[in-house]
Chains A and B, each alone.
Chain A
Amino acid sequence: MADKEKLTLVVFSGDFDKALAAFIIATTAASMDMEVTMFFTFWGLNIVKKNEGKIKSKGILRKMLNTINRGGTKRLTLSKFNMMGAGTWMMKQLMKDIKHPTIDELITMAHDMGVKMIACTTSCGVMGLPEDSFRTEVESLAGAAYFLEEARNSKTTLFI
């Protein structure tokens, strides 16, 4: 079987709009027979945290962080005009109006098409996130060396 062209995405942002862009690019690339790896780091981890359940972390600072920064697709906000949630709500309405897929649907589509989703070990360490903080689509945890190895073998690498 011929080697597929690779695309690697670093998802550093945890914004609703940037998450949409990341997953639209990933699913389209997968539809075009590219091998896609998404590396979620820092705020990007919020996009792939599980929506329900508790994030079990130790220490007062980490517990505080993971309370105000709980994450999960249902808690993502627009990078501009969030307006205390009103802007994000409005954007979701606009998307619904034209039957645009939701971020959850895009994540499922991406996973079904073989897009690899990896979470950054160091960010997890800093923020005290255990492995079970993430949704099932996240395949594993890895570090910068893994990302760089994927990137150097990829025709296209993007930072979101």
Chain B
Amino acid sequence: MKADKTLDCMGLYCPMPIFKTAQKMKELKAGEVLEIVADDKGIKKDMPAWCSSTGNECLGLEEKDGEFHVFVKKKP
């Protein structure tokens, strides 16, 4: 999946990935995609929950070598 911006949250635990995502999303334009890279397993449930609360779209999650790549599209 392609992203317009990337956010590195490797080594960070809840609430930091969510907190940083909320902040970084402010920099994106509507419709742009942010890729969040994290290794905290909690992100598998946390990110869809955050998207559901804020109205942003969770496009999907890819797992490779212990890294979770989550793609979130900014709401219009």
Count B-side interface residues using an 8 Å CB cutoff.
Answer: 14
Q: Is the interface of A mostly helix, strand, loop or mixed?
A: loop
Residue pair A28, B54 in contact (C-beta under 8 Å): no
Q: Given A32-B53, A33-B53, A33-B54: A109 and B19 within 8 A (CB)?
A: yes
In the complex, the chain A residue whose C-beta lies closest to that of B25 is: A31
On chain A, the residues within 8 Å of B49 by CB distance are 32
The chain B residue with its CB closest to the CB of A109 is B19
Cβ–Cβ contact B16 & A101, under 8 A: yes
Residue of A nearest to B11 (CB): A99
**B13 pairs with A32, CB closer than 8 A:** no
Interfacial residues, chain B to chain A (CB-CB below 8 A)? 11-16, 18-19, 21-22, 49-50, 53-54
Which A residues are within 8 Å of any B CB, using their own CB?
Answer: 5, 24, 27-28, 30-34, 98-101, 109, 113
